[in-house]
Amino acid sequence: MKLLDRVSDVGTRKHLAASTIECYRRWVREFLAYHCREGHWRHPAELGTAEVEAFLTALARDRQLSASSQNQAVNAIVFLYKQVLVDEVGPDHLGRFAAERSRRPVRLPAVLSQHEVQQLIEIMRPQSMHRLMVELMYGTGLRVMECCTLRLRDVDFDRQQIWVRSGKGDKDRIVMLPQSLRSRLVEQARRARRRHERDLAQGGGYVPLPAVLQKKCPYAQDDWRWQFLFPSITLRRDESGKGYRWHAHPGVLSRTVKQATIRAQIGKRVTPHTFRHSFATHLLESGYDIRQVQTLLGHQRLETTMIYTHVMNKPAIAVTSPLDRLMGGAA
């Protein structure tokens, strides 16, 4: 088995997210490529503390990557030696290493006003699936992939709640189902189910599932409850001819939001994740407890949620500009 395949295999057994596994594979590949000389690739067992320090320092000094990117590289290399190759090189192969670290600047998230959110939503096509997804993200604080990968079974219309399965950190949580979206979500679920029935008639109707679930519940592959609420328009077939329908692509959603931002002439950099930032900020501005917001967002640490207190509008402690006082006095 190739090294990168071993990284994927161990990552799957450790229940890492697919995006995390792919990130680790990329950084392991870059680490090995950095020490490749004249087409000669060195095995990780030949590389040690000095090589790791040189690579991490190059990321900070030469490529000037952010602290978060450098931390990803550190985590990937540690995972490689501590989890994948531990039986070959031993747990103490790396030892302690020190490299030049990237600085971690404090960045505040971009937040839309309620008027700007309304502008963006209204400029999108009324009955489009992407508009519904944007409204759902703003109405619940879902992350982009959490919204894209919602399944029909995750929406509980009777209890007015949505289950977020295997979110960041492989954690589940429950968020509210906005009453204003209920009828449209019901119709979206009906459309997804009708499309599933058409796929079944054409030899399709299958949906990707986690490897563990495929063995435990093989029937779920073509069960309507496991279909994505926001399915892809493309039906893909595997080598055996089975037709699989994945979820809506987050990149397409991002392009739709970007185009709407340009058409609405909003002078901020807006991505789908901006609606999550706006959701949290507007809740805090409305007086909701920060612990409630933390639970809805699925943050493990309160400090992560606290960042929104720095961008919220706080009329109780607003400071009047001295220029406004001067001009007011002059008037």
Q: What is the CATH number of the domain that holds 168?
A: 1.10.443.10
Residue 172 near residue 165 (C-beta atoms within 8 A)? yes
Residue 186 lies in a domain: yes
Token pair for 82: 């501590």
| Average of per-residue pLDDT across 214-237 | 88
pLDDT reading at 330 higher than 70? no
* Any domain includes 99: no
For residues 76 and 170, state if they share a domain: no
In this predicted structure, what is the pLDDT of residue 270?
Answer: 95
Last residue of a domain, one of 38, 62, 89: 89
Domain assignment present for residue 322? The answer is no
What is the DSSP secondary-structure string of 39-91? TBPPPGGG--HHHHHHHHHHHHHTS---HHHHHHHHHHHHHIIIIISHHHH-T
Residue 182 and residue 125 in one domain: yes
Q: What does the alpha-carbon distance between residue 169 and residue 173 come to, in Å, rounded to a whole number?
A: 11
pLDDT for 182 equals 95
Residue given tokens 């409850």 in the structure block: 225
What are the residue numbers of the active site?
Answer: 143, 168, 273, 276, 299, 308
Domain count, the chain: 2
% residues pLDDT > 70 (the chain): 94
53: domain CATH number is 1.10.150.130
> Within 10 Å of residue 87's Cβ, how many Cβ atoms?
7
Clarify whether residues 204 and 67 are in a common domain: no
Q: Quick one: average pLDDT of 13-21? A: 84
pLDDT of the residue at 15: 79
Indicate whether 84 and 151 sit together in one domain. Answer: no
Does residue 184 register a pLDDT over 70? Answer: yes
In angstroms, rounded to a whole number, what is the distance separating the alpha carbons of residues 121 and 274? 13
Same domain for 130 and 223?
yes
The whole-model pTM stands at 0.79
Residues 112 and 226 in one domain: yes
pLDDT at res. 265: 94
Please report whether residue 141 resides in a domain.
yes
Q: Which of 248, 281, 268 is nearest to 133 (CA)?
A: 248
Is 222 inside any structural domain?
Answer: yes
What is the average pLDDT across 52-77?
A: 88
Same domain, yes or no, for 181 and 273? Answer: yes
Between these two residues, 4 and 329, which has the higher pLDDT value? 4
132-152, pLDDT tens digit by residue? Answer: 999 999 999 999 999 999 999
> Are 190 and 243 in the same domain?
yes
Q: Is the pLDDT of residue 214 over 90?
A: no
Q: Which domain holds residue 8?
A: 3-89
Among 89, 118, 143, the domain-final residue is 89
- The angle that helices 67-79 and 18-34 make with each other, rounded to 10 degrees, is 90
Domain C-terminal end among 59, 89, 119: 89
Q: pLDDT at position 317, please? A: 52
Higher local confidence (pLDDT), 19 or 174: 174
- My answer on whether 47 and 117 are in the same domain is no
142-168 mean pLDDT: 93
In the predicted model, is pLDDT for residue 12 greater than 70?
yes
The answer to whether residues 112 and 83 belong to one domain is no
User: Are 129 and 277 part of one and the same domain?
Assistant: yes
Whether residue 261 sits in one domain with residue 168 = yes
Domain membership flag for residue 71: yes
Is there a domain that residue 111 lies in? yes
Least confident of 97-101, 111-115, 256-260: 97-101
Residue 257: what pLDDT? Answer: 96
- Alpha helices by DSSP H, listed for the chain, are 3-13, 18-34, 49-61, 67-79, 86-89, 114-123, 129-140, 144-148, 182-201, 211-216, 250-263, 272-285, 290-297, 302-306, 322-330
Rounded CA separation 228/205 (Å): 11
Distance CA 223, CA 193 (A): 10
- Report yes or no on 30 lying in a domain: yes
